[in-house]
Chain A
Amino acid sequence: MIEEMRGLSLKIIEQLQHRGVDYGDVRVENVDLESIAFRKQRLDEAELQANQGIGIRVLVNGCWGFASCSGFETGLIEKTVDRAVDVARSGSCAVGGMVKLSSEKPETGHYDGPCVKNPFEIPRTEKMDLLSSTADIIHSSPLISMSWSYLWFERRKRVFGNTEGTLVSSDLTFTQPILIAYAVHNDDMQSRSLQDGARIAGWEWIEQVDMIAWAEKAREEAIMKVKAPEGPSGVMDLVLDGLHLSLTMHESVGHPTESDRVLGWEANMAGRTFLEISDQEHLKYGSDKVNFIADNTLPYGVASWGWDDDGVPGQKWYTVKNGIFQEFGSVRETALLVDRQHSRGRCRAMDFACFPINRQPNFYLEPGTEQVTPDDLISEVEKGVYIEGRGSFSIDQRRVNFQFGGDLFWEIRNGKKVQPLKKVIYRSKTRDFWGSCDGISDKRFFRTMGLLTCGKGEPVQSARMTHGASVSRFRNIEVGRGAE
């Protein structure tokens, strides 16, 4: 299949060259998807999808044109080439073109994402049985009112080629388990969920997660949470686990450091950033302990595709080093505009039908280098809250003023976790928050979350990336609850 798709790409590139475009690229995709969802103890939906299509992007007089079609039908493809060129010409006549791509070395090759056990070869009955068992375990208490148990697999074969000689392909398998248990008690409802998310991996990721054990944990902790007292209000310390921090860093570090935001290209939708281009390499973003590493070569990371949708290879670099902001993540179109010579390889589209844009990479908070456990961090907290997992989240369009909840909360008093809590939120500002980080546990406590649903762009596209952190401590944060 990949060879056939590479051949199709070459044919389309040839057509683009005949049209005399200044630059052209093509993405050919074939995606198989399987999803199985149990609502409570019943199969709610089992779905297979067979998706395929082509996206063609051209530059004419410095103006983009993009067109796509589903399927590989020759007649439709020819019309799609015409439409891409037509819209580019219309744009260049009306507004004029300003696109200047960074110069990148042409790439050739193929990348297979890690996958030990092909999930599409695991008998479907085994998947149904697993979900049925997890649902039975979750619902073994009458306090559990509802649950979702869900398996999702995707096999994405993609080819990218351009008129500069790049022709690359990838074969990626994405696997995601989801469990959510909802407990109802005394006119309240609280939930607890499995949040490790997706990986580029096969069935082995489902085995590693151990959904059966998680079903029991989700049930017990949802019940514990719904019966717990409400959280305190005031200024106090927070100890946050890696799954929780994955979302905090996504919103307050990943988005503000996107190059298209600083240029104003997201001003109408996802928003701008508080950062300036001139902040690169000197702005204090967090405490000295804070290092963020972007890594689109992380083997199981859901943004590790081999090459991005500009045909630029995956890379690893510091976004923040020793608390200092290093550089914006870029694509070929934005690199020169944010004072970089080359793209960081962050250009990705949701699928063949979408125009590729600047997306977050996989990135994580580097674990502490000294041997420090979560208990060590907690032992130095007089009054605070320990938060596991992610909950409610909101941040302003410049990525400064945020409010987060969590999935499970523990009161910390005099250096110990003393009781579970519910309904805890905290509020802070991006640089104050990361500046208050005074402890990061070591790599033994590192957890990652593979996110598939980062929304950005217009029309909105979902993108994928993996984040991670070890349990970390933050001092003097405003804690409270929402509307009374």
Chain B
Amino acid sequence: MTREEMVVFINAILEQASVPDVMAKLTEQRLATVRFGQNRITQNMDTFERRLRLTLGDGERQAVYSTHRIDMDAIPSILHSAMEMLETASPDPEYMPPVEAGQVYPVVEKWDAETARANPDDRTGAVAAAIETAERNDLEASGITGVSVDTTAIGTSTGNLGFQRSTSAFLRLTMDRGKGSSYRSINSVAWCDLPVDKTVEEVSQEAEADMNQADLEPGSYKLIFEPQAVADLVPYIAWSLNARQADEGLTVFTGRQGEKITGDMFTMSSMVNGIPKGVPFNEEGLAAEDAVWIEKGVLINQPCQRYWAKKTDREPLFIPGTLSIEGGEGSTADLINSVDGRALLFRRFWYIRFVDQKELSLTGMTRDGVFLVENGKIIRPVKDFRWNWKPLDLFNRIEILGTAVRKGQNSIPPMVISETVLG
């Protein structure tokens, strides 16, 4: 659907609804990907989905109806089904009408017309390059590459109307032989900006360097986290930040707003038009804003939904689809060179789970590369191992920050953590 067609459809829903409070969200997604493993294509797909999510409210109760059956003729039947759900819903003591009129949605440009055409030969060509390099080096390549083309239109009965479209291109690549492996994940708005060839070569060389791993010798090490390793830990902090959950005693952040929760070198924020860019509005149609969550270790803001914000005299706030950890200067290689004594370099973590949600303690495994570093030089690869850490404790002990880079939807630096006992 064009922008105009989506807006016409949203307006028709808003006009024909017989209740005062309406929020409609219409989305389209085309996702075209090639997946590969064992140096062969295992999936090659091009999917399309159009969905309407409609929230109705009568001042006392609310209900949601979602459907793929979308055309102008279907609107009466859509509204009928949604009304049926609404009429049987229990009254909501926390009822909130749609967001008030006058929301000013930031302009977020993340669209590339050529990428939106989703040419299948781009994707299969990238996979062919990865497979060819892997075969030449007696490695196996696996991963996924693709493009996503997303469009969202929202409207509220209070008069807000929003539209957003975006493209995203990505490659996630592993190469391995036996237990030696490497992995990289790259993203960009435009397919042509993906450094495919460079990444394929890097992963191939890094996998080779991971062969013949030694056991980890128990002892004290500095920890060098590549950006991907930091990116794997950060979401667990973000998921625990919610103001209401903290107020209810469920998280480590209970009663901690305004307090020091980690070290001076840790600052986490969201910038709607940073790198990468976020979203202009949330599910409710609330305009996105930049926010600082943790500044130099102090908990400044917490995401808070509208009802709880009103009840606790806060501003409603949400994470606008992107997080940024403040970095310093230098690449991972620069950080390695700068470390005296003994350290371990981590490429990525795997299967991270909460061990204790209230303590924000986590467990996980290392994956795709752990290396012993001595006096600024990589000495040898080390076998993967299980860890049990608290990320706030780790980020309390940051010694050096490198330059932040894009990792998925976040901007993340490499870092060096002070001596930690392992094994």
Contacts and interface: CB of A to CB of B under 8 A. Distances in A.
Nearest to A65: B44
A417 interface: no
Interface string B15-54: 0000000000000000111111110111111111111000
A438 interface: no
B243 interface: no
B26 to A, nearest CB: 12
A87 B90 contact: no
B295 interface: no
B297 to A, nearest CB: 19
A80 B50 CA distance: 14
A428 to B, nearest CB: 11
A83 interface: yes
A128 B89 contact: yes
A184 B248 contact: yes
A91 B44 contact: yes
Contact of B140 (A132, A264, A355): A264
Contacts of A457: 35
B361 A264 contact: no
Given A53-B49, A91-B44, A70 B142 contact: no
Interface stretch (B210-218, B371-379, B387-395): B387-395
Nearest to B355: A482
Interface string A369-402: 0000000000000000000000011111100010
A442 to B, nearest CB: 33
B256 to A, nearest CB: 12
A96 B351 CA distance: 34
B88 interface: yes
A188 B45 contact: no
Contacts of A141: none
B394 to A, nearest CB: 10
Contacts of A94: 121, 124-125, 127-128
Contact of B37 (A66, A267, A396): A267
B66 interface: yes
Interface string A39-74: 000110111111111000000000111111111010
A48 B81 CA distance: 8
A393 B38 contact: no
Contacts, number: 251
B226 interface: no
A47 B89 contact: no
A145 interface: yes
Contacts of B174: 267-268
A146 interface: yes
Interface string B339-373: 00000000000111111111101111101000000
Interface string A301-342: 000000000000000000000000000000000000000000
Contacts of B143: 268, 458
Interface residues of A, number: 79
A264 B38 contact: yes
B390 to A, nearest CB: 5
B37 A264 contact: yes
A189 B357 CA distance: 8
B57 to A, nearest CB: 11
Contact of B69 (A47, A66, A68, A71): A71
Contact of B44 (A90, A125, A458): A90
Given A70-B50, A128-B89, A355-B43, A396 B351 contact: yes
B137 to A, nearest CB: 15
Given A46-B89, A401-B365, A86 B128 contact: no
Given A43-B90, A128-B88, A396-B386, A64 B356 contact: no
Chain B residues touching A, majority SS:
strand
Given A71-B68, A355-B43, A427-B386, A263 B38 contact: yes
Chain A residues touching B, majority SS:
mixed
A111 interface: no
Contact of A50 (B32, B63, B67): B67
B43 A66 contact: yes
Which of B68, B352, B362 has most chain A Cβ within 10 Å? B68
Contacts of B85: 46-48, 124
Contacts of A348: none
B64 interface: yes
Given A48-B64, A87-B32, A483-B355, A63 B41 contact: yes
Nearest to A189: B358
A109 interface: no
Contacts of B350: 271, 396-397
Interface in B53-98: 61-71, 81-82, 84-85, 88-94
A47 B355 CA distance: 31
Contacts of A433: none
Contacts of A86: 46, 120
A65 to B, nearest CB: 5
A354 B33 CA distance: 11
A403 interface: yes
Given A46-B85, A49-B67, A50-B67, A70 B384 contact: no
Interface in A398-412: 401, 403, 405
Given A267-B176, A394-B351, A67 B46 contact: yes
A171 B245 CA distance: 39
A95 B142 contact: no
B191 interface: no
Contact of B388 (A71, A188, A266, A482): A482
A369 B280 CA distance: 61
A483 B362 contact: yes
Nearest to A39: B94
B110 interface: no
B249 interface: yes
A95 B48 contact: no
B397 interface: no
Contacts of B362: 482-483
Contacts of A71: 50, 68-70
Which of A65, A182, A394 has most chain B Cβ within 10 Å? A394
A52 to B, nearest CB: 5
A311 B384 CA distance: 40
A50 B53 CA distance: 10
B13 interface: no
B365 A47 contact: no
A423 interface: yes
A264 B385 CA distance: 21
Given A392-B353, A459-B31, A353 B49 contact: yes
B388 A458 contact: no
A354 B31 CA distance: 11
Contacts of B140: 264, 267
Contacts of A481: 355
Contact of B48 (A52, A68, A123, A187): A68
B248 A145 contact: yes
11 contacts: A48-B65, A66-B46, A66-B47, A70-B48, A76-B48, A128-B88, A266-B37, A268-B174, A269-B172, A403-B388, A483-B390
Which 8 A-B residue pairings sit nearest by Cβ, starting from the closest? A482-B355, A265-B37, A94-B124, A124-B88, A184-B249, A90-B120, A70-B68, A66-B45
Given A94-B128, A482-B388, 5 more contacts: A46-B85, A64-B44, A65-B44, A188-B358, A459-B33
Interface of A: 42-43, 45-53, 63-71, 73, 76, 80, 83-84, 86-88, 90-91, 93-95, 97-98, 123-125, 128, 132, 145-146, 182, 184, 187-190, 260, 263-269, 271, 353-355, 357, 392-397, 401, 403, 405, 423, 425, 427, 457-459, 481-483
Interface of B: 31-38, 40-51, 61-71, 81-82, 84-85, 88-94, 120-121, 123-125, 127-128, 131, 140, 142-144, 172-174, 176, 181, 183, 245, 248-250, 254, 350-359, 361-365, 367, 384-386, 388-390, 393
